[in-house]
Each structure stands twice: as C-alpha cells, then as structure tokens.
Amino acid sequence: MANALPRDRLILLVGLITYGMGQSLLFVIFAPLALKLDITTGQLGFIIAASNVMLAFSAPRWGRASQRLGRRTVYLIGLAGYAVGYGLLALGVQLGLMGIVSAGSLFALLLVLRMAYGLVVGGINPAATAYIADTTDEQSRSSGMALVAMSGGLGTIIGPAFGGALTVISPLFPMYAAAGLALAAGVWAYVALPEPPRRANAAQDLRLRITDPRILPYLVGWVVVFGTFTGVQTVTAAYIADRFGVTDTTAAQRTMMLAMLSMAFVTVFVQAVVLQRWKASPSTMLKTGFAVMTAALLLLAFGPGVISLYLGYGLFGLSFGFTAPGLNAAGSLSVEREEQGAVAGLLSAAPTVGMIFGPILCGLVYGVAPVSPMLGGAVLTALVGVWFLFVNVPDPRPTARA
C-alpha cells in the first residue's frame, strides 16, 4: 500500500508549486500590464530574461551554499526572496500605473528588481533538489525527483486560473497574492521543515565543473530540453497564424492555452501517477523522453491541422514528464553524497541557460521557414537521445532491507 506523502516533502512541493505559479503569472498578469506602461515588447523580454540570467549565475552558488548552510536555510532564503521580490515587482508596476514613475525610469527599476529577484530565488530549486537527494535512497531517487519536477507543471496549471480569478479584485492583486502565498509557504517551512542529516564533508565548499564527465550529459540534456521547448513556445503564436491561419487574437490565445494545458496535464499525470508506481530507471526515462520529444517536434512540423498542435504539445508533456526527473536523478546518482548541493545547483542552472538562448535562436531561424525551429529542435533532441544510448547512465542499486 502506498504511504502518504511525508510532511517534509509536502512542504517542499507547496513552496515549489507557489514558485511555479509566480513564474506563469508573469505572462498572464505582468505582460499585458507592461503594454499599458509603454514598455515595449523588447524591453519586456529584457525584464523577464534578466532573472533567468541571474538564476543561471546564482543557482550553482546557492547549491554549494546549501552544503554549508543547510538545505532548509537556503530554501527559506529563496522563498523569502521570492515573496519580497515579487511584492516589490508588483509595487513597481503599481507606481507606473499611477504615473509616479515614468516609462524609462520604470524599465530600469523593473530590470534591477528582476535581477535582484533572480539572485535570491536561485536557491529554491537547488535546495529542494538536494533535500530530496539527502532524504531518498537510490531506489526511490527517481520518484522523488519526479515530484520535484511535477511542481512546475502544477504551478503552470494553477497560476493562470489563480490569476484570472483574482483580477476581479484588481489587475495587480494576483501578484501581491502570489507574494503572500510565498510568505506563507516560507513560514510553514520555518516552523515544520527539519534539516536533513548533515554529511561528513558538509562544511566544505565543494565545486563541480560543468565539464565534469559525470554530469556533463545531463547538463547538456537540460539546456536542450528547455532551450527547445521555450524557443518553440516563443514562436507558437506566430506559427498558429502562419501555418493554420488562426489570426484572430482571441482564437489564437485560446488555441495556445489549450496546447499549454494539454502539455501541463500530461506532465503532471506522468510525474504524479505513472512514475510514483512505475520505478523506471533514469536510463529508461532519458531514452524514452528524448525519443518522444523528437516525435513531438516532428508532429508539430508536419502534422495536419490544429489538432496536431494539441497532440504535439501533449507529447511534449509526456517527454518532459520523463526527461526532467530522469536528468535530475541521473545527475544526483552520478556524484557523491557530499557533492549533492553542488550538482543540484548546476542542474537547476542548466534549464535557465536554455531559456536564455532557445527563444533567441528559434526567433532567428523562424524567419527562414516556420517549421525551422521544430526541425532544428528535432535534430538536437534526436542527437542527445542517441548520445544517451552510449552514456553510462547510473541506475539505482538495490537497497538492502533492514
């Protein structure tokens, strides 16, 4: 019989889901308001990308810091930074809407706020990932990482509904509410989240190079997965118009929303249900995930009608459901226990690198042909999938029963 989710894991998931909700609210709430503030789409892109650049810089450092300061401490710092940073971002937008800060000054203010936000919240994912690594054995590592990865999908689903329901109070209220939720999650963690047992070398500031052959394949895998997905997501609105003739704004938004929801629901189902019952090895998850992602991209490129878009995004969700926990579990199993904080930081930073470069590259090649981002992504994911056929992906060793 399956046991109930342990309280410490539940506390981590609540914080991670709250964090995921805040990320999705940026596009649902903040992006439309930015247009009212005379912030151009290019400036908006810089504001959003600023935190990703800082996350890529700070996550490895927070991961190593969690080895010295403790997973709980770094996790709490990250949630506190999220609550304060998100609240200040909402306040900055409000000052712009009230006309207190001009458009040029507001752009600079929001850019600085997002950079500071990215520096502090970079500790949330590494601390949570390392916490799971500390509190699971090798047999349960993959299912534990699946729960961590699932939180992002749940946040993506809950965030837009949460924001849409609260905008009836005021356009900015959902952002203030998200900051309040992060504060509440932090208080719960402060009261009830224990620190996992410290390791013998916890005081050492152990560093891992990104070129370390033990973890390089998994870092590259993360960059390719997130770079491909965010890049394709960036051009999907234009692709819907150019390929399927859906030019009405409302219809295009509805089409995009259904595609995103189909992906999110499949991802959550795989990670919350399938992988909690099927103890798949990291090797199996990676080979399956990259093969399915290649198929998804080819379906998006050549499938007939809008239904192929929904099916393609559904396959995206299926592939992400396997690749995300597979990459994290394989990376964790590849290093020693005293290196878990360092590897968690790198594994958390790698997706943000993909999020920085993927949209830029896909935007550039889209001008060549609308299917170019999908075909380019299919080639990359296929190559990485073939690479994993030759990588010695660590599989968990059986754990002796007491």
**DSSP result, 77-131:** HHHHHHHHHHHHHHHHHHHHHTTSS-HHHHHHHHHHHHHHHHHHHTTHHHHHHHH
The answer to whether residue 195 scores a pLDDT higher than 70 is yes
- 48 against 188, higher pLDDT: 188
* Third-level CATH fold of 1-191: Growth Hormone; Chain: A; (1.20.1250)
Which superfamily is assigned to 211-393 in CATH? MFS general substrate transporter like domains (1.20.1250.20)
Phi-psi region of 197 (alpha: psi -120 to 50; beta: other; left: phi over 0): beta
Percent of the residues in the chain that have a pLDDT greater than 90, as a whole number: 26
Domain segments of the chain as ranges = 1-191, 211-393
What is the rounded end-to-end Cα distance, in angstroms, of the chain?
A: 19
| Predicted local confidence at residue 399, as pLDDT | 47
The answer to whether residue 354 scores a pLDDT higher than 80 is yes
Using pLDDT thresholds of 50, 70 and 90, give the confidence band for residue 275.
Answer: confident
Element (H, E) at 157: helix 141-166
Domains 1-191 and 211-393 share a fold: yes
* Mean of the per-residue pLDDT values of the chain: 83
| Predicted local confidence at residue 35, as pLDDT | 67
| Crossing angle (nearest 10°) for helices 340-366 and 305-333 | 150
The answer to whether residue 394 scores a pLDDT higher than 60 is yes
Highest-scoring range by mean pLDDT, 65-69, 216-220, 276-280: 216-220
The answer to whether residue 362 scores a pLDDT higher than 50 is yes
Mean pLDDT for the stretch of residues 24-48? 74
Q: How far apart are CA 343 and CA 333, in angstroms?
A: 10
CA 284 to chain CA centroid, nearest Å: 22
| Predicted local confidence at residue 400, as pLDDT | 41
The answer to whether residue 128 scores a pLDDT higher than 50 is yes
The answer to whether residue 3 scores a pLDDT higher than 70 is no
Mean pLDDT for the stretch of residues 79-85? 94
Q: How far apart are CA 394 and CA 335, in angstroms?
A: 10
Q: Which of 303, 326, 275 is nearest to 378 (CA)?
A: 303
Chain segment 371-388, per-residue pLDDT in tens: 898 999 999 999 999 999
